[in-house]
Amino acid sequence: MKKGEKPVLKIENLSFKFHGSKENVLKNINLELYPREFVLLIGPSGCGKTTLINTINGIIPHIIQGVKKGKVYVNGVDVDKVELKEISTLVGTVFQDPETQFFTLSVIDEVVFGPENLMLPVDEIEKRFKFAVKATGIEDLLDKDIMSLSGGQKQRVAIASALAMMPKVLILDEPTTNLDPKGAAEVLKTISKLRQETDALIILIEHRLEEVAKYADKVLVMNDGQIIAQGDAREIFGRPKILYDLGIRPPWSAESVIRLKNLGILPDDAPIPINPEEAAKIIDKYLKSAPTLVKPNNLPFENYDEFYSYENRKPVIEIKNLWHRYPDGTIALKGINLTIREGEFVGIIGQNGAGKSTLLLHILGLLRPSHGSVKVFGKEASRMSVAELARSIGLIFQNPDLMLFQNTVWDEIAFGPQNVGLPKTEIRERVKEAIEMMRLIGFEKRHPRALSRGQRHRVAVASILSMRPKILIADEPTTGQDYGASKKYLQLLTELNKAGSTIIVVSHDMDLIARFSKRVIVLKQGKILIDGPTRAVFSREDLLKETHLAPPYVTRIGNKLKNFGIPTVLTIEELVEAISSLYLKKAA
Amino acid sequence: MGILGTIKSASFGIVIPPIILVGIQVIARLLELYTIGFIMTLYKGQPIFVPTVILWLLFVDSEIYTYSNLIGVILAWIISYAIIGDWVRKIPDILGSFILVYLFHIYYLVGIHRIPLIAPFPQFIFPVLIGIPSSTIVILFRTKRRKTFFERLREKKIPYDERYSIDLKLPVTCPKCGTKVYSNPKYCWNCGENLEETIYSKIITKAG
Helices (H), A352-392: 356-363, 386-392
Nearest neighbour of B182 by CB, restricted to A336, A339, A533:
A339
- Inter-CA distances, A537 with A344, A349, A519, Å: 16, 11, 8
The distance from CA A158 to its chain's CA centroid, rounded to whole angstroms, is: 19
Q: How many CB atoms lie within 10 A of CB B177?
A: 12
B204 touches chain A (CB under 8 A): no
CA distance A91 to A320: 53
Give the pLDDT confidence of B72-88 residue by residue, as tens digits. Answer: 666 666 676 666 655 55
- Picking from A404, A330, A316, the residue whose alpha carbon sits closest to that of residue A367 is A330
Answer yes or no: are the C-beta atoms of A530 and A543 closer than 8 Å.
Answer: yes
- At B131 the pLDDT is 64
Query: B183–A336: do the CB atoms touch at under 8 Å?
Result: yes
Sort out which chain A residues have CB atoms less than 8 A from B173's CB and list them.
none
- Which CA distances in Å does A324 have to A374, A385, A572? 11, 21, 39
Residues of chain B with C-beta less than 8 angstroms from the C-beta of A321: 164-168
Q: Which residues of B touch A337 (CB under 8 A)?
A: 168, 170, 172, 183-184
Q: Are A107 and A141 in contact (CB under 8 A)?
A: yes
* CA pair distance B136, B143, nearest whole angstrom: 10
The DSSP letter of residue A3 is T
* Nearest chain B CA: its distance from A543 CA (Å): 8
CA distances from A83 to A75, A80, A171 (A): 15, 8, 19
Interior/surface letters B77-86, b for 16+ CB within 10 angstroms, e for the rest: bbbbbbebbe
Name B53's Cβ contacts closer than 8 Å, sequence gap at least 6. B18, B21, B22, B25, B42, B43
Could you tell me if A156 and A190 are in contact, meaning their C-beta atoms sit under 8 angstroms apart? Answer: yes
How does pLDDT run across A376-411, given as a tens digit for each residue?
Answer: 999 998 888 877 887 889 988 767 777 888 999 999
Q: How many residues does chain B have?
A: 208
Put the strands of the sheet holding A527-533 in their side by side order.
A393-396, A471-475, A502-506, A345-349, A519-524, A527-533
The reply to whether residue B189 touches residue A536, judged by beta carbons under 8 angstroms, is yes
pLDDT tens for each residue of B172-195: 999 999 999 999 999 999 999 999
H-only helix segments in A198-238: 209-212, 233-237
CB contact under 8 A, A540 and B192: yes
Is A336's CB within 8 Å of B184's CB?
yes
Give yes or no for a cis peptide into B120 (omega within 30° of 0): no
Q: What is the ipTM of this complex?
A: 0.79
Torsion on CA atoms A436, A439, A444, A449, rounded to nearest 10: -140
**Are B149 and A528 in contact (CB < 8 Å)?**
no
Provide the pLDDT for residue B13. Answer: 64
Domains assigned to chain A: 9-244 (3.40.50.300), 252-289+555-582 (no CATH), 310-554 (3.40.50.300)
Check residue A229 and give its pLDDT: 92
Residue A341 forms beta bridges with which residues? Answer: A315
Distance CA(A280)–CA(A270), nearest Å, equals 12
Locate the DSSP E strands across A289-359.
Answer: 315-325, 331-341, 345-349
- Across the strands, what pairs with A472? A394, A503
Collapse the DSSP code of A37 into the 3-class scheme (helix H, G, I; strand E, B; otherwise coil) and give the result.
coil
Written as one letter, the residue type at A147 is: M
Cβ burial, residue A495 (10 Å; 0-12/13-18/19+): exposed
Are A356 and A373 a contacting pair, CB within 8 Å?
no
* A-B C-beta contacts closer than 8 Å: 82
> Is pLDDT above 70 for B36?
no
Tell the burial category of A128 from Cβ atoms under 10 Å away from its Cβ (0-12, 13-18, 19+): buried
Q: Which residues pair with A221 in a beta bridge?
A: A42, A229
Task: Establish if B192 touches chain A: CB-CB under 8 angstroms.
Answer: yes
- pLDDT category at B55 given cuts 50, 70, 90 is low
Non-local (6+) Cβ contacts of B120 within 8 A are none
- DSSP for B7-33, please give it: HHHHHHHHHHHHHHHHHHHHHHHHTTG
For every residue of B113-157, which 3-state class applies, written as one string? CCCCCCCCCCCCHHHHHHHHHHHHHHHHHHCCCCCCHHHHHHHCC
Please answer whether residues A188 and A212 qualify as being in contact, where contact means their C-beta atoms are separated by less than 8 angstroms.
yes
Q: What is the pTM of this model?
A: 0.75
Chain A environment of B183 (Cβ under 8 Å): 336-339, 521, 528, 531
Instruction: Give yes or no for B194 touching A (CB within 8 A).
Output: no
Q: What share of chain A is helix, strand, coil (3-state, %, to 5)?
A: 45, 20, 35
Q: Does B162 touch chain A (CB under 8 A)?
A: no
Which sign, positive or negative, has the C-alpha torsion A121, A125, A126, A128?
positive
- Smallest Cβ distance to B189: which of A524, A532, A542? A532
Distance (Å, whole) CA A455 – CA A414? 17
d(CA A530, CA A551): 13
Q: Phi/psi at A271 (nearest 5 deg)?
A: -65, 160
Rounded to the nearest integer, the mean pLDDT of chain B is 70
Check A528 against B185: CB less than 8 A apart: yes
Residue B56 has pLDDT above 70, yes or no: no
Measured between alpha carbons, how far is A302 from B11 in angstroms, rounded to an integer? 64
Set of chain B residues whose Cβ sits within 8 Å of the Cβ of A335? 161, 163-165, 184
pLDDT of residue A588: 34
Q: Measured between alpha carbons, how far is residue A21 from residues A373, A410, B100 in Å?
A: 53, 21, 78
8 Å CB contact of A371 and B184: no
Decide which of B15 and A415 is more confident. Answer: A415
Q: Which residues of A touch B185 (CB under 8 A)?
A: 521-522, 528-532
Cα A266 versus chain centre, distance:
31
Question: Across the interface, do A530 and B149 touch by the CB < 8 Å criterion?
Answer: no
Could you tell me what percent of chain B has a pLDDT over 70? Answer: 34
Query: Contact B190/A334, CB-based, under 8 Å?
Result: no
pLDDT band at B117 (very low <50, low <70, confident <90, very high): low
Q: How far are the Cα atoms of B41, B61, B126 from residue B122, in angstroms, in the given order?
A: 22, 12, 8
State how far the Cα of A334 lies from the Cα of A332, in Å rounded to an integer: 7
Question: How many CB atoms within 10 Å of residue B75?
Answer: 17
> Is A321 within 8 Å of B190 when comparing Cβ atoms?
no
Mean pLDDT of residues grouped by 10 in chain A (588 residues)? 83 92 91 93 88 94 92 94 92 87 91 92 94 90 86 89 93 84 83 84 87 88 93 87 82 90 88 89 85 61 76 92 92 95 95 89 92 93 82 80 88 91 92 88 89 81 88 83 74 84 91 92 96 94 90 91 87 89 54
Q: Is B187's CB within 8 Å of A542's CB?
A: no
pLDDT at A302: 63
Closest by CA position to A341, among listed A504, A569, A561, A526: A504
B161 vs A339: CB contact, 8 Å cut-off?
no
Rounded Cα distance between A270 and A8, Å, is 35
